[in-house]
Amino acid sequence: MTSQRALIIGASHAGAQLAASLRQEGWSGEVVLIGEESAAPYQRPPLSKSYLAGKCSLDEITIRSSDFYSKQRIQLLDAHVEAINRSAGNIVMSTGETLTYDKLALCTGARPRQFRVPGAELAGVHYLRTAADVEIIRTSATPGRRVAIVGGGYIGLETAASLRALDLDLEVTVLEATTRVLERVTAPAVSTFFERIHREEGIDIRTGAKVAALVGDDCVREVTLSTGESIPTDLVIVGIGVEPRTELAEAAGLTLNDGVVIDEHARTSDPAIVAAGDCASKYISRYGRRVRLESVPGATDQAKLAAATLCGKSKSAVSLPWFWSDQYDVKLQIAGLSCGYDQVVLSGDPTVGRSFSCFYLRGGELLAADCINRPRDFMLSKQVITQQRPFVQTDFIHTGSPESSGDG
């Protein structure tokens, strides 16, 4: 493999891990990691959390130091890839240059879903996906300004919490089109809890608030709802989900299904190409469905598998999906996927305090758990779900003072 070249498109969590894992798996040829930002690969979850809140610098959230890449002979290339030519075994960059490959990895991630309403192109309307996005938002969020956040999912709620942490006397309103925040991913009790704590922190949470238009001359000045109500604003942040970046894979003829389809070894429909991270769609037998995990642990696991596959090794993993969210003094830790459940069991009271757990069961079997400031419940839930052990509610009964929030 000394004369071979592995190209990784996307300097994401998955891309950075895949490059490192190639060396760990014994790849001795060239490794080129291609990204579209001049900065070394950095962690994205802190962008809407500690980085937006001004609690850390970009250097503090880099995935690995720049020295690591040079020592491991990993070339970082700041470029935009226009096309993949599978028959010729090369990629075409926006400059017109081509770069050949023996093995190729797609770690292209996802992009924010665009807001399709009149006025969405006005200045003052922002998305949050990169460090540069955060810098623009922070610069715009001057003291006393009014901020409208469109979308009551994790990004929207984390952004609201981080803006409040800036202590700039910002007037923050979260506009969620459905009947409750986090409706797509949590039970009503969890939604009610997060609506309560955000209101306690001074955030105006509005559900059933469908945006009809953004209004302004050159810069956004109002958000008009479908009811006709107008909400004055100086800044709009859109957080309505993401879409996988699959245009390169699609043009190259790879199989897609809500992302680039991969098998249990992270291979795409082309055996010379693997994929990992937010752009990849994988079937999880535990849940009987194909999913894109959109999580750092998922991206890391897939990248390790992909690297082994490129090195000719046959590895597979069935690690349980898990996620987390930080908002104020609340750490939400999620084990498993809460899809297809027929019963919800609570441990603790979500209407008071800031510590409880929500368990999702199907036929009495634990599928997933949302654990708020309860790391013990989170760890135990992961074990019960992974080992498919019986769910015993008394195992999760708490006494004494609440647990500390623990680490992600």
Cα atoms found within 13 Å of the Cα of residue 228, Cβ hemisphere only: 0
Per-residue pLDDT tens over the stretch 159-168? 999 999 999 9
- From 310, 340, 365, the end of a domain falls on 310
d(CA 187, CA 162): 24
User: Range of 269's domain?
Assistant: 5-42+63-111+243-310
404 pLDDT above the threshold of 80: no
Do residues 334 and 357 both lie within one domain? yes
Mean pLDDT, the chain, integer: 94
For residue 406, pLDDT over 70 is answered with no
How many whole angstroms separate alpha carbon 132 and alpha carbon 113?
A: 17
Cβ-contact 18, 285 below 8 angstroms: no
pLDDT level of residue 405 (50, 70, 90 thresholds) = very low
Answer yes or no: is 120 within a domain: no
**Co-location of 95 and 12 in the same domain:** yes
Residues 25 and 100 in one domain: yes
Alpha helices in 111-150 (DSSP H): 131-140
Residue with tokens 């704590």: 197
Question: What's the CATH number where 192 sits?
Answer: 3.50.50.60
Taken as a whole, the chain contains a residue count of: 408
Same domain, 107 and 249: yes
Cα–Cα distance list, 250 to 181, 262, 270, 281 (Å): 33, 14, 12, 13
CB 183 within 8 A of CB 192: no
Look at the block and give the residue holding tokens 């709009």: 236
> Which of 238, 263, 278 delimits the end of a domain?
238
Is the pLDDT confidence value at 1 over 90?
no
Q: How many CA atoms lie less than 13 Å away from 379 in the CB half-sphere? A: 9
Q: What is the pLDDT of residues 73-107, one digit of tens each?
A: 999 999 999 999 999 999 999 999 999 999 999 99
For residues 29 and 103, membership in a common domain is answered with yes
Residues 207 and 274 both lie in one domain: no
User: What are 293-346's pLDDT values in tens digits?
Assistant: 899 999 999 999 999 999 999 887 768 999 999 999 999 999 999 988 999 999
pLDDT for 399: 52
**Considering the domain boundaries, does residue 317 fall inside one?**
no
pLDDT of 402 > 50? The answer is no
Decide if 348 contacts 357 (C-beta within 8 A): yes
Are 197 and 135 part of one and the same domain?
Answer: yes
Nearest 5°: phi and psi at 277? 95, -155
Q: Is residue 404 situated within a structural domain?
A: no
Per-position b or e across 369-380, b if 16+ CB within 10 A of its CB: bbbbbbbebbeb
Return the SS3 of 306.
Answer: helix
Query: How does residue 66 score in pLDDT terms, banded at 50, 70 and 90?
Result: confident
Residue 14 shares a structural domain with residue 105: yes
Confidence (pTM): 0.93
Determine contact, residues 41/74, Cβ cutoff 8 Å. Answer: no
